[in-house]
Amino acid sequence: MSRSINLESLYQIINNPIIYNNKDIMKNFFATLDDDVQNISNIQIKYRELETFKSLYEKISSKLNSEQKEAFYYGYKNSKAINQEFDLLRFTKDTTLNIELKSEYPNGGKDKLEDTLRRQNHILLNCTENVINYTYVLSDEKLYKLVPINGCSNEDYKLSEVEFSRLIQDISSDYIECNKLEMIKTEDLIISPYSEPEKFVKNSYYLNQEQRDVVDKILKSELRYHSISGRAGTGKSLVLFDLAAQFIKQGKNVILVFCGKLENSGELSRIHNFNIFDIKSISCNFSQLRKYDVVLFDEFQRIREEQYNILINLDVELVVYSVDKKQTLHPAEKRLNIEDKLNKNIKITNYCLGDKIRQNNEMSWFIRKLLQPTDRKSQPADYKKVTVKYFNNREGASDYIEHRYNHDQFIPIE
C-alpha cells in the first residue's frame, strides 16, 4: 500500500539541507510512503527529479489552496503489473492527474515525451474515466500537456506547451485518499489483436519496455530478416501487430501470415486495415508474398519443412518470424525445431521476449501437462478454469468448436 504526500511538505523537505542532504533520512522518509519496501538501503533518491519538482512547485504554489496540495502519490511503480513509474499522481472519483517530471529532454525530444504520456494515459484510463497528463521539463522550465484532439483514443492526442495556470486549474480541490493504480492487474492492460481487434486499432494496448525496444530496433534496422522468440504470454503477436501498424504509417504494403488455422482472417483484415491470412490459404502460391514490402509470420514454429525452405529466403524488403518452440502441437513440429533453425541462421537478427505479461498459472500448468504428459515437474492443480470435452473423431470436435465460436464467441486456437 502506498501513502500520499502533501506538496508543501515535500517542498519543505527539499528546502531543508539537514534532511535533504542526508541520504539515510531521505531513504527512511520515502520508505514510509510504500509498505512494499523490503530493503530501505535499495531505495534510490532521485535528486534531479526532486529538483525538478521544486522548480515546478515554486511556479504554482502561490496559486494553490490547501486542498489542492493534498493527496499526491510520488514515484509510484506497480511492479507486479506494469513496469512503469509515475512521478506524481492524484485521484478524484472520476479523474486522474498525472505529472511527469523531467530534468531534461530525453533522446527523441518532445516525441519521446508524448510517447511516454500516451502509454501512461492508456494505463491510467483503467483507473478513472478521465485522465489529465502533464510533463514539466526543468532544463527550459516548460510545461506540456497531452491535449485531446478528437474522441478519446490515444491516437487523438497531441503534446502542447501550456501555461502553468492550466495545471493550477486542473488540480481539483476535491480528491480521494486512494491510489487507484494499486488496483490495476496485468490482465487489465493486455489485449489480443486477434480476439480484440477493435481495441487494438484504437491504440488501447500497452507495450512494455522490452517489447518497445524490439519494435524500435526492427523499425530502425537496415537488415532484411528478423525473428522474435518467447514463451506464451510474452506479447509476440502484439509486437507483430504494432510493427504492422508502424509500417503502414510509413506507407508500406504489409501482410501478416498466421501459421495455423484462422477462422476470421477476412474480418481481421478489414478491422486492422492490412491483409491477414492463415498459411493454408496461401500455401499453394507463396510467390504472391513478393508483392508486399513487409511480411510478418506468427506461430512460425507450426510450418512444415518444405514451407520453411521457401519462406526463409523470401525476397521482400523485410520479414519477421515470430516463434515459440514450446507451443508445438505435432511431433513433426518438435523434430523440425524451427526456433533453433532461426537462431542458427546467420542472416537472421534474433530477438527474445522474456518478460511474461499474460499469465494464468492454472492454465499454464494444464497446457504444460497436456503437451508433455510425462513431465513430472508439472504441478498438480484443480484446474477450476479448465473444461475438457472429449470427442473420438475430428468431425465431432470441429462441429462443437464451430458452435462455441458462433454462439459463445470462443476463440479456436487450432
**Angle in degrees, 0-180, between the axes of helices 236-249 and 265-272, rounded to the nearest 10:** 50
d(CA 399, CA 200): 30
Instruction: Quickly tell me which residue has 513431465 as its cell.
Output: 375
Residue 220 CB: number of other CB atoms within 10 A? 7
Instruction: Quickly tell me which residue has 491483409 as its cell.
Output: 275
d(CA 86, CA 205): 18
pLDDT at 364: 62
pLDDT at 362: 60
Contact 55, 99 (CB under 8 A): no
User: C-alpha angle with apex 116: 85 to 192, nearest 5 degrees?
Assistant: 90
Exposed e or buried b per residue across 93-114, where buried means at least 16 C-beta atoms within 10 angstroms of its C-beta: eebbbbbbbbbebeeeebeebb
CATH for 190-359 (3.10.350.10, 3.30.750.80, 3.30.1180.20, 3.40.50.300): 3.40.50.300
pLDDT at 153: 46
At 405, phi and psi to the nearest 5? -65, -45
What are the domain boundaries of the chain?
Answer: 7-184, 190-359, 360-414
**Angle in degrees, 0-180, between the axes of helices 7-15 and 47-60, rounded to the nearest 10:** 120
Strand partners of residue 77? 85
Running along the chain, 414 residues long, what does each successive block of 10 average in pLDDT? Answer: 91 95 91 81 91 97 96 83 84 96 93 89 88 97 90 67 97 94 75 83 76 93 94 87 93 94 88 93 91 95 91 94 81 82 92 67 63 64 68 81 74 62
d(CA 260, CA 324): 13
For residue 227, give the 3-state DSSP assignment: strand
Contact 204, 131 (CB under 8 A): no
Closest CA to 100 of 74, 128, 125: 74
